[in-house]
Each structure stands twice: as structure tokens, then as C-alpha cells.
Structure 1
């Protein structure tokens, strides 16, 4: 028996409420992390972020209104558009802070790689839907074909983004690919082979570093090695490439259990701020210092609840395409959150990834809101049954 609900009734208001909480935390943290530090107007970055929320809401609503099944028709054009935008960045992109990642239109910069992440999710979701909708042979050979197709779609944007250089966003593409492969139902032999391959690749790089550094340096550039050294030996490199991590750890450690209070952080409120990029990449430092362990825990719990809802939506969906869409978005967001928080507390190297829904930045915010709109769309159009589910 089907339980019928209207579209408005099927909106996941829990997800929307969690999103609202993240927006409130974001504006407070951006104000505290940027107020008076970079511009004469302490509200400048907050105002810009609010302005970016408006087109973000438009994208989110648009993603909710259009039946997500229609995304199948746009998957290839969107993927091609994403590749063309990345090629445009490669040849005509704007250079900022040593990286060529932006396109400038009418005086405004936007980062195409942010939107490409969602385009890749849609493309891979459609690909896996076509492979698995009628069932597929459960064999190692079939698994190899699935993995090869996923890799063939994911590698072009991965390498184009890596070349900008933007290792963090490239790793997000890798995370999406890994999530989609896992959700495709490949067997344990293939998963084991992939894990062993990744570990072997890392081991090979370490061997090259120790024995043939000149070759290693052609693969891993100097600026990337500096970040790794700054992560492994932050105190020894506190005056150079370990500076950000050391100062971030001081701030989070000073926050203690309850924090120093809003706008009271020593690391965040000193002029100039002791931690560079506080309102973007290192915004978790502001939350950890000023709101303490409890504030940071509340933020992580909000993220956990958001992903719990997304996972429920993915597995309750009656349509494989919808399941793959939501799963890809979960993979996209989870990796960014893990990497950003982990790099701030010294568990991972610094990669420059923003904290989703919290860090300042228009392209990232709009992309994440678009992704959230797709998840809400899938939930709105999932038919619920009292006793069984039906594959569409």
C-alpha cells in the first residue's frame, strides 16, 4: 500500500533546519574570523556571504522543483560543460594566491571546479544507473568494467583540477569516485584490489622520495611537499610552512571545554590574525577557540545528523538513480568536512579545502546548496510504501 503525501509534506524539514543552523554558525564564525582583519568594514565578508546565499537558494529551489529523473538527460551536457570550463581555467583562468582556479566575469570570480563536483556526481549516478538498472553479472570481470567506466569519467576532471593546482578539490573528485564504486555493489575482491593499489601507490611514492627524489619531485611539487613537511613536523617548521597548523592548534587548544567566548579568541582577534585564512580554510579554528570543545562538538553533531538524514533518504529511495545521486553527494560533502577539520587539528595535511556551509566563499556555498537541493528533490519524489518498496 502506497502512503501518498504532497510535495510540501515530503520536504525534509529536518535537513532544512540543520542547514539553517549551519548558516547561523557560518555567519557568526565569518564575522569573528574576518571582522576588521582584512577590511575597514567588519561586516564586509558577512554581507558578501549573505548575498551569495540568495543565488544559492535559487539553485537549491531549482534543483528541488525539477524532477531529479530529468537529470539523466542533462548528465552528459553538464559533464562536457564542466570539462570545457576546466579547460577555460587552464588556458585563460585568473591566477590568485599562486593558483589558476578562477574565471572572472563582470568583475566577479567563480571557481568552476566547485560546480564540476556536482556535475561528476550526476554523470556517475547516470552511468551506474544504466549499468545496474537491469541487473548485471556478479563477477570480477564485470566489476573491472564498472570500475574502469567510473575511472574513465572521473579522471579527466581529476587531472585538470590537480593541474591548477588544487589537490584538495581533486581529492574530492577521488572521494566521489570511491563512493560510487562502493555503492555500485562491486565484490570484495575488487574492493581489496583497489585498497591494495592505493596503499601500494603511496608506498611507491615514499620509496621514490627516499631513493629517487628528482623523479619524485616531478610528481609531487615543492609546494605540496612543504605542506606535508609542515604537517609531519609542524614545530620544527613553525616559522615557515608549519606556521598555520601550529597557530591553529594553539587556538583550538586555548578554547578548552567552553571556549574563550564570541569575539574573544586571542588567535582570531589579534591584528593581524595569527592564523591566515581564518574566515575560509581555517574557520574551524575560530569555532574551536571561541566556542570550545562543546561548540566544535555541536557543529560535528549537526553534520552527523545531516548525513544521517541523507543516508536514510538514499536507502529509502525506490529509484537507483536517486540512490546514486544522494550517495555521491554524501561522498562529496563527507570528505570535505573530514579533511578540513582533520587538517585544522593536525590529522591530515593542509589542502585548502573549505568547510562546507561554514567557510566564506560564493562558489563553494552555491555548490553545496545545489547539492542539498538535489537530496531534497530525491526525498520529495520518493514514493513510500507501508509494506514494500518498488524499483522504478
Structure 2
């Protein structure tokens, strides 16, 4: 017997509360970052614009909740085609900023980053593909698993490489993480997953070999500015005057925060203007220096609880299409959170990924809000039964 609940009753208010907490942390951190000497605008300027983006994102999140996610099956192919068209247009006519051609629009009037929205489109397309593949029992064999992986890669790799050409390694790796999560969700054997992991590691080893033996060929794959970031990551102190400048001062700032931090708008490194992109890519530095280990831990715990709630929604969903959508969103958030915090503390190379719901920005924030809308959509349409699932 089914327990009948209205959408408002099934809405995950805990998830919404955690999202609200992240919004508040974002506005506080951005206000402090905007108080830095590097910005020639009032501190409230970026905060007001971020509030506007949160408002737009909230409207789109609600829109993503209203339409039954089952209807997205019919839109998956058109959305994938739109993704490819946008990426090709970006490659041909995109606006170039700091050596990267990632934006479409009219300079100084309106621009957006298509690759951000492609993340959502890829999640929907792959979720529909997996739903189609797994709707009937299939033979568990190496050949069968290889075909499934081939289909997933056939959908995921074209946008991956087009984004890589922009170049935007960070977003390309986000697409890669979504694809990898979907491979796992497809239920393929650990042997296949091991082979994929081994291929990725072999690719890195090959690049190192190429760097040491055929440098000219290597620079055709890894751009000079990307290589500089890797050098800076390996030894920030030896590259302080170049790419290591940002990371070196970020590490010093976070270290200076110690347990309780230096206080709101009182960070020496953050307020001195020594850390470029402080309100976007390096926003975690503000939290680490001014609110210390305690503040950084609170943020990480909020992220953990947010991801935990999303995983619960995925487990409770009795519709495989909804489960795949939610799993894709988990892959989207986990990689971005790990990569952004990791690059700020020197664990991984700098890639320029925003910290979800915290960094200042339009396209990335709106994309993440839409992703949350899809998760809430799945949750309010999950059916619960008193005596087990419907057969």
C-alpha cells in the first residue's frame, strides 16, 4: 500500500536548509574578499550581484523541480545536441579571456560559459542512456560490460575533448568524473573499472615520458600555462614569481588562520591583495585565514551533509532514471569540492574550478542550483510503500 504524500511533504527541507547555510557562507566570504585592496569597487558590489545570481538560480531550481523528471527522457537527445552545438560554437566564435576561449555572448554586455550548462545536459543524457541499457537484464560478461562502457564513453568523450580544447582542464575533468560515476552506476565489473583506472594512470605516465623526451610534442597536449601550474604545485616556493605566487600566498594565508582565524575582514594575506581571483577560485582562502580551521571544518561538514542527503535520495529512489540523475549530480559536486579545496591547500594542481555555492559567479552558480533542482525533483516524486516497493 502506498503512502500518499504531497510534494511539499516530501520536499527535503534539510537539503534546502544546508543550501541556505552555504548561501550565507558565500555572501560573508565574498564580502570579505571584495574588501581586499585588489578590488576598486565597494565591498557590497559583488555581494549584491551574488544575491542576484542566487535569486536567478533559485527560480531555475524551482523550475527544475516543477516538471516531472521523467519528461527529461524525451529531451535528453535534443539537450545533448544543444551541448555539442554550443561547444562547437564556443570553439569557433568564443570570446577569449586570459588565453582561454570559453565564453559566448557580447563582450562587456552579456556572456555565459556554455560548458557549465553542458554538465547538466550530460548528466541527463547519460542517465537516460543508462536507464535504456539497464531496463532489461543483460548478460554479465566482459564483452557485455565493454559494450556498456563504450556507449557511455561515446556520449561523454566528445564534450570532454571539446572542453579540453578551450582549454578548460578543470571542467573537462568534471565531465570525466560524471562519466566515471555513471560507469560505476552501470554495474560493470571491477575488472573493467580497474582497466579504466589503469588507462588513466598510464596516460599520466605517458605524458611524463613525453615531457622528458619529446617536449615539443608534449606542449601540443599540455599548454605552457597549464604546465606552469603543475610546476607551481610541485614546488610553490621555487615559482613564487610566476604561477606559484597565488598558491604560495594562499597557503600562507590558510596557515596563518590557525584554529580560530584572524577575524572577519582581518586576514593579512586576503586583505592585502596578494591573492588574485580571491572572490572566485580562491574563496576558500578567505574562510581558512579569517575563520581558521574551525570555519573551514564547518564548511566541509556542511558539504558532507549536503552530499549525504543527496546520496540518501539516490538510494531511496525507486526509479532508476532518477537514481542515475542523482548519482550524476553527486559526481558533479564531489569533484568540484575536492578539486577547489585541494588546489587551494596544495593537494592538487590549480585548475580554476569554482567552489560550489560559495565562489562568486553566474554560470557556475546557476548550473549548481539547477542540479539541486533536479535532485529535489527526484525526491518529491519518489514513491514510498508501507510494505516494500511496488512490484
Q: TM-score, normalised by structure 1?
A: 0.97
Alignment of 1:316-327 (within 5 A): 316-327=316-327
Larger mean CA deviation between 89-98 and 229-238 belongs to: 89-98
Deviation, structure 1 residue 89: 1.1
Deviation, structure 1 residue 42: 1.7
The correspondence for 2:119, drawn from 117, 120, 123, is 117
Structure 1 residue aligned with 2:164: 162
Q: Distance in 1 between matches of 2:382 and 2:314?
A: 10
Deviation, structure 1 residue 161: 0.8
Alignment of 1:161-310 (within 5 A): 161-270=163-272, 273-310=273-310
Q: Distance in 2 between matches of 1:343 and 1:196?
A: 24
Deviation, structure 1 residue 61: 0.4
Q: Distance in 2 between matches of 1:136 and 1:58?
A: 41
Structure 1 residue aligned with 2:31: 31
- Aligned-CA RMSD value: 1.1
Q: Distance in 1 between matches of 2:222 and 2:302?
A: 36
1:7-49: CA deviations, max 9, x gaps? 1000000000000000000011111111364233221111111
Alignment of 1:53-68 (within 5 A): 53-68=54-69
Structure 1 residue aligned with 2:336: 336
Deviation, structure 1 residue 150: 0.8
Deviation, structure 1 residue 269: 1.0
SS of 2:103's equivalent in the other structure is strand
- Contact between 2:229 and 2:244, CA under 8 Å: does it hold in 1? yes
Alignment of 1:117-156 (within 5 A): 117-156=119-158
Deviation, structure 1 residue 335: 0.1
- Name stretches of at least 5 consecutive residues in structure 2 with no aligned partner: none
1:142-201: CA deviations, max 9, x gaps? 111111111111111111111111100000000000000011100111111111111111
Deviation, structure 1 residue 260: 0.5
Structure 2 residue aligned with 1:43: 44
Structure 2 residue aligned with 1:21: 21
Larger mean CA deviation between 114-123 and 378-387 belongs to: 378-387
SS of 2:10's equivalent in the other structure is coil
- Contact between 2:34 and 2:279, CA under 8 Å: does it hold in 1? yes
- Name stretches of at least 5 consecutive residues in structure 1 with no aligned partner: none
Deviation, structure 1 residue 386: 2.8
SS of 2:360's equivalent in the other structure is coil
Matched positions, count: 389
Larger mean CA deviation between 185-194 and 104-113 belongs to: 104-113
- Contact between 2:236 and 2:245, CA under 8 Å: does it hold in 1? yes
Structure 1 residue aligned with 2:76: 75
Q: Distance in 2 between matches of 1:94 and 1:317?
A: 41
Q: Distance in 1 between matches of 2:186 and 2:142?
A: 13
- Contact between 2:57 and 2:369, CA under 8 Å: does it hold in 1? yes
Deviation, structure 1 residue 342: 0.2
Structure 1 residue aligned with 2:389: 389
1:236-295: CA deviations, max 9, x gaps? 11111111110000000000000001110011111xx11100000000000000000000
SS of 2:104's equivalent in the other structure is strand
SS of 2:167's equivalent in the other structure is coil
Q: TM-score, normalised by structure 2?
A: 0.98
1:311-338: CA deviations, max 9, x gaps? 0100110000000000001001100000
